[in-house]
Amino acid sequence: MSRIVLFIYRKRRFLVWPLLVLNLVLVGLWWNRSIEKVNELQWQFVNGYGIRMPLKYTIHGIDVSHHNNRIDWKRVCQMQASGVALQFVFVKATEGATLVDRRFKNNWQEARKAGLKRGAYHFFHPKRDPEKQARNYINNVTLKPGDFVPVLDVERNDRGRVPASKLIADIRVWLELVEDHYGTKPIIYVNRHFYLLYIAGNFDDYPLWIADYSTDHPNEFKADRLYFWQHNEKGSVDGIRGKVDFNVFVCEPDRLKEICL
């Protein structure tokens, strides 16, 4: 009996070792591919901005709202670190059906004066009338040639209390009204979670701006129209107190005109 047990043990051990070796090889291949992808982006810690930045991309920018308080736009525009200067900014314009960001007018005017390419975004409320929200944006945002197309920020669903079908339908109302007014498709800003729940498969023909701090490479998002990647929310910028969201344009530079008026 003991000989039989010993034989079975040896046989199992003989089978286990090749499997372990195979798993190690597969893990090694996966790790090497992951490192190659990360290295492709030339990640580098940039002291002036206080964060790692993917320097393969050449067009870097930020987004701001009243939470960033009063901004010295001249200092923002003049800042340069490790050869990287900021070239664009997205400014919060409106929220819900009636709110206008209290810093919007000043930020909007001063960003243009400073020479930054600018865009204006609307923070979408899932329980507010989408038509009124669209009118709020339209009534307060005047876009000029060279500005980015309108932006819809979708990142809230009050703990899932609004059914997905209704939220998707309401988002579509806002997008279509704004598209009709400005004559161009808006950009959708969304985090990874909301992208998978509400955007993917429903709004694939709209330009995408993804917020995801958990990945070192945006290529895992299979959207054909990914233009911007918000890769960090803890950057530092001369002329702005507190932490700042950092973004990068992930397409070839000559494609920037595709999402501008």
Find the angle CA(35)-CA(37)-CA(40) to the nearest 5 degrees: 105
Counted residue by residue, the chain has a size of 261
Give the span between the Cα atoms of 236 and 252, in whole angstroms: 26
Nearest CA among 48, 67, 96 for reference residue 238: 48
Residues 6+ apart with CB under 8 A from 124: 130, 133, 152, 153, 154, 156, 171, 174
Give the span between the Cα atoms of 214 and 115, in whole angstroms: 31
Cα 46 to chain centroid, rounded: 20
Give the span between the Cα atoms of 91 and 75, in whole angstroms: 17
Helix axes 130-140, 164-182, angle to 10 degrees: 30
- Residue 69: Cβ-neighbour burial (10 angstroms; 0-12, 13-18, 19+): exposed
List, by residue number, the catalytic residues.
63, 155
